[in-house]
A and B are shown apart, each in its own frame.
Chain A
Amino acid sequence: MEILKVEGISKHFGGVVAVEGFSMVQRDNQISGIIGPNGAGKTTVFNLITGATPVDRGRVLFMEQEITRFPAHRRADLGIARTFQNIRLFGNLTVLDNMKVAHDMKVRYTLWEEMLRLPRVRRQEKAIDEKARHFLAYLGLDSYADQKPQNLPYGIQRRLELARTLMTEPRIVLLDEPAAGLNPQEVRDLMATIRKIQEENALTIVIVEHHMELIMNICSLIHVLDFGKKIAEGEPEAIKKNEQVLQAYLGEEV
């Protein structure tokens, strides 16, 4: 099934063309990558898909439903989750609460029940607590539950952001440079983690990344962006040999 379909989306910031006529089709249960030089518009593509920035032109379809004009929180509720290039955790919430917040849109108790802390609230809070602890343990983060995120090592913060996306009950997860700032061992762990959560949760994953080893290893399809336009699309082996791609990366070994 085509879970995500992007049709010719464009975004201009003043005179700057961030993304121009970008299209992609994402099949269910697969891992794809988006690569390209710095400033090619990769993160903007994520922002347009998630609704962080409105599109100028083009359409975004999620599970055959047009979501181009949906506000960001509704897209999250439908099952689009993401991480950020520069980690964006909630600094004043504990690790556990960072997880819970991502599940709050699914909570069913009302504001009135919450004010009086009725049994239904307590019951559901307990369930959320268990779910959050479950996913923390799932990614080996359970020992950090009561800490504040800024006190954690960088690699752990990245992992927490990944865990947080799982709390939203996503269908598709967009990872924005998940390997940035990680050491080689951590990158290997990350690859294993991404594969694991993809397989065990039947997820679809799109990765924006500069780390070629990671992209080439775990993506079945790769889109290449340059100056906001797609210059190539294909399987890793084909992309490695693509003339235009090599030129865009000029000198960089692909």
Chain B
Amino acid sequence: MFYLKVLEITSLYTILVLGVYLMTGLTGLFSLGQGAFVSIGAYTAAIAYMRFGVPFPLALALAVLMGALLGFLVGIPTLRLRRDYFLLVTFGLSEMVRAGLLYLAQLTGGALGMAGMPRKVGLPLILGSIVVITFITYSLKRSRFGRDCIAIRDDELAASMVGINVYAHKMKVFIISSAITAYGGALYAFSILFIEPNIFNWLESAKLIIITFVGGLNSIAGVIAASVIYYSFGEFFRFIDVWRDVLLAVVVVLVIIFRPGGLFQGLSLLPSKLKAMRSGR
């Protein structure tokens, strides 16, 4: 039972990691504001279901739409900015959303948060979602969308010179990422059954970025592996408390020094690639 719970929490966070993969891993956009999208997703679904009696599947869809909409609105002014400014703006965004949730206490329950959601989300739904999201992410990665992401990450000017609309492409990336993250937040609300404005602070956002780097920017499988290891490790080693983070920091430093391409660089779940790896290519 404990293991199932660990798997469930780990899987929930893995959805959030997948949410930043296209954005941070492929496109090189760093967001410290994922908490804003987790919260928007969680609160939209919870409020729709609890306060307005919207059926659960529709509440999930609403959460995704709200996440995408917020991504679009935030993206308009920020995606033309330099990447470091984008990072700062998203950081500010998460604080704004947090303050907003506290302020709108009548709707959101304020600092007390919201509880009493029925348990609508179980392991099958979460794992199924991971499979679908991974499939979509992987499909995007291996065709035009993914190529353009990497080209933009490498050299924005050269990308625009070969005809890529850099701003529009970043916008698509950010919207998709926001939608996935909000979806993860909605699942969280109906799995953990308690949400409050601090469920996901900027440090948690930073961890998503770190996991993406440790797993390997160009490897979805590597990122998923890193995510599963980190979050399940976190549950198993709760007794060593803050030392978990120290250990994580050490691992990060070692990976950056010895395997700059990521811990699982080149790891792939495709049969053809596995064969190539075994034959030592």
Contacts and interface: CB of A to CB of B under 8 A. Distances in A.
* B is a partner of A: yes
A190 B145 CA distance: 33
Contacts of B8: none
A73 B164 contact: yes
A118 B238 CA distance: 44
A104 B164 CA distance: 7
A48 B151 CA distance: 22
Contacts of B147: 93, 97, 100-101, 104
B145 A76 contact: no
B241 interface: no
B268 interface: no
Contacts of B148: 101, 104
Interface residues of B, number: 26
Contact of A73 (B154, B160, B172): B160
Interface in B144-169: 144-145, 147-148, 150-151, 153-155, 157-166
A168 interface: yes
Contacts of B159: 90, 101
Instruction: Identify the interface centre among B136, B157, B163, B217: most chain A CB within 10 Å of its CB.
Output: B163
Nearest to A174: B161
A92 B136 contact: no
Given A107-B144, A115-B136, A101 B161 contact: no
A234 interface: no
Interface in A57-108: 71-73, 76-77, 81-82, 84, 88-93, 97, 100-102, 104-107
A222 to B, nearest CB: 24
B143 interface: yes
A116 B135 CA distance: 8
Interface string B83-106: 000000000000000000000000
Contacts of B155: 88, 90
A88 B157 contact: yes
Nearest to A117: B139
Given A90-B151, A90-B154, A111-B172, A76 B163 contact: yes
Contacts of B164: 73, 101, 104-105
Nearest to A51: B160
A164 interface: yes
Interface string A241-254: 00000000000000
B143 A117 contact: yes
Nearest to B136: A115
B140 interface: yes
B218 interface: yes
Interface string A114-151: 11110001000100000000000000000000000000
Contacts of A168: 162-163
9 contacts: A50-B161, A89-B158, A92-B150, A97-B150, A100-B144, A105-B163, A106-B163, A115-B136, A167-B162
Interface of A: 50-52, 71-73, 76-77, 81-82, 84, 88-93, 97, 100-102, 104-107, 109, 111, 114-117, 121, 125, 164, 167-168
Given A73-B164, A97-B150, 6 more contacts: A52-B157, A76-B160, A90-B158, A93-B150, A101-B151, A117-B139
